[in-house]
Chain A
Amino acid sequence: MKRVVVTGMGAISPVGNDVDSLWQSLLAGRHGFGPITRFDPKDMKVKLAAEVKDFQPEQYIEKNQIRRMDLFAQYGVAAAVQSVEDSRIFGAVDPERFGVYIGSGVGGISTFLKEAEVLFTRGPSRISPFFIPMMIINMASALVAMRFDAKGPSLPVVSACSSGTNAIGEAFRAIKVGAADAIITGGAEACINPLAIGGFTNCQALTTREDPDSISIPFDQRRDGFVIGEGAGVLVLEELEHAKARGAQIYAEVVGYGNTNDAYHITAPDPSASGSAAMIRQAFAEAGLTADAQTYVNAHGTSTPLNDKTETLALKKALGDAAYQVHISSTKSMTGHMLGAAGGVEAIAAIKVLNSNKVVPTIGYTTPDPECDLDYTPNQVVETPINKALSTSLGFGGHNAGVLFAELED
């Protein structure tokens, strides 16, 4: 089996449009919540979101191509361009050994909404010829493949809010078994529109809190739903010897992946947490590692009542007493829930924690919940030695995914 390392990172997020700004915000405990500006939310119960601010697609995409791409694909391409530039891999890898696995939870739903309105108001003859290619969820991966002549394995993963983490895990597997030398992987999402927010609101997933400073409060007893976010997080994963041979910078080694399903309910997590616990066990088992006080967990931590307590139970079931030693945080307290992009951005957060030994906090935390009794790194950065970092994601449909990163050791 081959070893797999991370050689590039790129991000578009509600708290910064590159990896460095994202990281500075997470260290400073700065959130990205504010009133919805993409449309007038006067009829909505939900008034706030974590929007990406000041995104300039023309920095990354040819002007005449921008309007042919849904926003989710624009975010995906932008984060991929950053990541590939960071890794300096373009031109240094055989195109047929270069792949793209960029997931998304819902894809081009804003394009869908716009063209459905065209259908209802102007009839089928006015539907844009770009409707289908803009809307389909695989298009972020396809556009990135075109951009970087990546002709190898290509697999846009769709597993709701686990999409980004599943994509990274599957890319890791593909390189590990020798199917590719490098894969551009992560997640992209953009669904801040009235249809998606109305839908998430009515399935009781979103908070209707209106104070931006205490709205996404994972593991806090007052939590009552997530805040919708958007953006993209994209890594370049590369086979270790390939990376070494070209003198690439190496951020971390990918050492384990867990992938399970609750097989329980369309939206609610299984209260026994058996599926999510199994996912965490798988990730550590593949790595041959045991969780301890030098472990960071970037939790899914959505700030919904059910997720956070079930996830806490999963960590206890999987890690035993070590669940009380590991350092946990939910960066969704700052980024909001970026859905299919969450796994991409949170993998980056986990790797930055691993590299810096600075555990970023769960902000806005004031009120302990007896059912959430682990160390969630409340409000302040904790400096402590970290040598492995797990990023977990749990999605509608019972999808559980986790990727474990470690400092590269010979």
Chain B
Amino acid sequence: MLNDIQDVLREYKGDDELTVTPETSFADLSLDSLDTVELVMSIEDKFGVSIEMNGDVNTVGDLMTAIEKAKQA
């Protein structure tokens, strides 16, 4: 899953070298709240899930947890 998220982020940032870990925050990547919403939309399309955005998705790890939850829902 981390690799898939990394792919989405690479495409979003236009940076093929970008590497992320679960600890990477969206702020570290200079992404604001609007970017995060747009990214979550891409992730939803990619994983075929619907993620509830409740303000605590700040890091790649948070996003992975949210996707897991959405998959189980």
Binding site for B on A (CB under 8 A): 63-64, 68, 125-126, 128-130, 133
Whether a CB of chain A sits under 8 angstroms from the CB of B13 is yes
**B14 engages A129 (CB within 8 Å):** no
With A63-B14, A64-B14 known to touch, is A133 a contact of B41 (CB < 8 Å)?
no
Which residues of chain B (19-50) have a CB below 8 Å from chain A? Answer: 30, 34, 37-38, 41, 50
Identify A126's interface contact among B13, B34, B41, CB under 8 A.
B41
| Tally of chain B residues near chain A (CB < 8 A) | 8
Closest to A66 in B: B14
Q: How many A-B residue pairs have CB under 8 A?
A: 16
**B38 engages A130 (CB within 8 Å):** yes
Chain B facing A: main interface SS: helix
Going nearest first, the 4 A-B pairs with the smallest beta carbon separation are A129-B37, A129-B34, A129-B38, A130-B34
Binding site for A on B (CB under 8 A): 13-14, 30, 34, 37-38, 41, 50
Chain A facing B: main interface SS: helix
Q: How far is the CB of A81 from chain B (nearest CB, A)?
A: 21
Q: Which residues of A contact B34 (CB under 8 A)?
A: 68, 129-130, 133
Q: How far is the CB of A126 from chain B (nearest CB, A)?
A: 6
CA distance A128 to B41 in the complex (A): 9
Closest to B33 in A: A129
Q: How far is the CB of A192 from chain B (nearest CB, A)?
A: 25
Closest to A122 in B: B45
Q: Which residues of A contact B13 (CB under 8 A)?
A: 64
Known: A64-B13, A68-B34. 10 other contacts (CB 8 A): A64-B30, A125-B50, A126-B41, A128-B41, A129-B34, A129-B37, A129-B38, A130-B34, A130-B38, A133-B34
